[in-house]
Amino acid sequence: MTDLATEILANLVSFDTTSRNSNIPLIEWVEDYLGRHGTASTRTYDPTGRKANLWATIGPKDVAGYVLSGHTDVVPVDGQAWTRNPFELTEENGRLYGRGTTDMKGFLAVCLAKVPDMVAAKLARPIHLCFSHDEEVGCIGVRYALEKIDELAPATPLGCFVGEPTSMQVVVAHKGKHNYRATVTGRPCHSSLAPRGVNAIDAAAELILAIKAIEKRLEREGRRDPLYDIQHSTAHTGTIQGGTILNIVPEACSFVFEFRMLPGDDHKPLEDELRAYARDVIEPWMKAIDPATGIEIELITGMPGFDTAPEEDVVALSKRFAGRNDHAKVAYGTEAGLFVAMAGIPAVVVGPGAIAQAHTPDEWIEKAELDRCGTFIDHLIRHCEIA
């Protein structure tokens, strides 16, 4: 199996599917591969028509089965110190190097390598493949597929296995994530007359300190879940831009921030708190100088968390297929929460490769991990044969 999966992975890696690019050439390649094995597939597009998800079903469509889900896009290589071509698969000492090998084209390659076995098995329950776009920029793409889930899978699937890199550990929960942009409009003037202006950076700094206060409060008082590496919900400011030159009071400043919430913790009260702080504390002194100044807080993307109970069938199956008894929870986000929230499909995250390799220069995955994932899917095929 590894040789076929490696060959397929080489093809997948050769497509530069960085999220800013179209993924259609890769989707066309996968469609052709599936077609050669007698498997039809369906595209769902984003509003631009430049990006597509691909859904394929092997087995009966009118019976509840299982989904193998993964994203086709990858993060940029810009500014990273790669020592090899990131879009050409290379092998060294049992490792396969290339952008996306771990996150998460390795999983897609194993799924595709197992298609001939799925077709030959004459499944009693279907196995669905869902290959999505734009996961890396907010789990955007899979939503367009899940909006049409009743057409794609008329019988609601019994479970979804999202193949993000977990070293084949079964992950039963992750935090939700909501990203925001704050845009501050000030009043510019010469810095020698600074009190007559409204410094947009100063106002932004006040709001950032309010976010920091929320972060400290969550750490100090927030609900705990010991299965997470960071056991509480978090707040974080990521990037900031503002000002033009030192001797001009800055007219504009913007920054992005996020909340990562434990399942069951609601981000909305924190969002409301920040909006109220901007309105009631910061804006009054700004508008006293110039009523045209102010602060706008915009939700960019939101991704729900999920928390699948360990006693759920999909968890028990995952542990059996992976040959292990433990499970974990993680702080990073995946599409699993959307399968639960939008489609009502119980989900787990389990896939080959280590998350520590994701997004890194000279990203790699061990060939042995592909074999372990192949064994997982072999067990799934046998389960669907005898269901």
- As a whole number of angstroms, the distance between CA 328 and CA 231 comes to 12
pLDDT for res 2: 72
What integer pLDDT is reported at residue 331 of this predicted model?
87
Q: What is the pTM of this model?
A: 0.91
Whether residue 36 is predicted with pLDDT greater than 80 in this model: the reply is yes
Q: Identify whether residues 246 and 205 lie together within a single domain.
A: yes
Place of tokens 């708190």: 273
Which residues, 6+ apart, have CB-to-CB distance to 350 below 8 Å? 161, 162, 163, 166, 168, 169, 170, 171, 318, 322, 376
At 386, is the pLDDT very low, low, confident or very high (cuts 50, 70, 90)? Answer: confident
Mean pLDDT of 179-206: 98
Q: Degrees (nearest 5) of the Cα angle 119, 58, 372?
A: 70
Query: Residues with Cβ < 8 Å from 374, sequence gap 6 or more?
Result: 1, 2, 5, 110, 113, 114
**How many domains, the chain?**
2
Q: How many CB atoms lie within 10 A of CB 136?
A: 21
pLDDT number for residue 174: 96
Per-residue pLDDT band at 1 (split at 50, 70, 90): low
Tell me what the mean pLDDT of segment 50-65 comes to.
97
| Claim to verify: residue 159 and residue 47 sit in the same structural domain | yes
Task: Render pLDDT for 76-109 as a digit per residue (tens, 0 to 9).
Answer: 999 999 999 999 999 999 999 999 999 999 999 9
Take residue 193 and report the two structure tokens written for it: 């007359």
Q: What is the pLDDT of residue 387?
A: 52
pLDDT at site 32: 98
State whether 96 and 159 are in the same domain.
yes
**Band (257; pLDDT cuts 50, 70, 90):** very high
Instruction: Tell which of 250, 276, 303 closes a domain.
Output: 303
The reported pLDDT for the residue numbered 346 is: 97
User: Pairing relation of β-strands 90-92 and 95-97?
Assistant: antiparallel
Q: What is the pLDDT of residue 108?
A: 98
* Rg of the chain over all Cα atoms, to the nearest angstrom: 23
| Catalytic residue list contains 92 | no
The catalytic residue among 31, 103, 134, 135 is 135
- Per-chain mean pLDDT for the chain: 97
160 in the same domain as 46: yes
- Residue 278 DSSP code: I
Question: Based on the domain organization, do 271 and 352 belong to the same domain?
Answer: no
Catalytic residue list contains 371: no
The enclosing H or E element of 340 equals: helix 336-343
Q: Are residues 205 and 243 in the same domain?
A: yes
- Considering the domain architecture, whether residues 78 and 97 belong to the same structural domain is answered as yes
The residue segments making up the domain with residue 290 are 180-303
Same domain assignment for residues 104 and 17: yes
Q: What pLDDT digit, counting tens, does each position of 197-219 carry?
A: 999 999 999 999 999 999 999 99
For the stretch 318-363, pLDDT in tens is: 999 999 999 999 988 999 999 999 999 999 999 999 999 999 999 9
Catalytic residue among 16, 31, 73, 225: 73
Answer with the one of 257, 279, 303 that is the final residue of a domain.
303
CATH number of the domain bearing residue 361: 3.40.630.10
Give the residue-averaged pLDDT of 265-277.
98
The answer to whether the peptide bond before residue 118 is cis (omega within 30 degrees of 0) is no
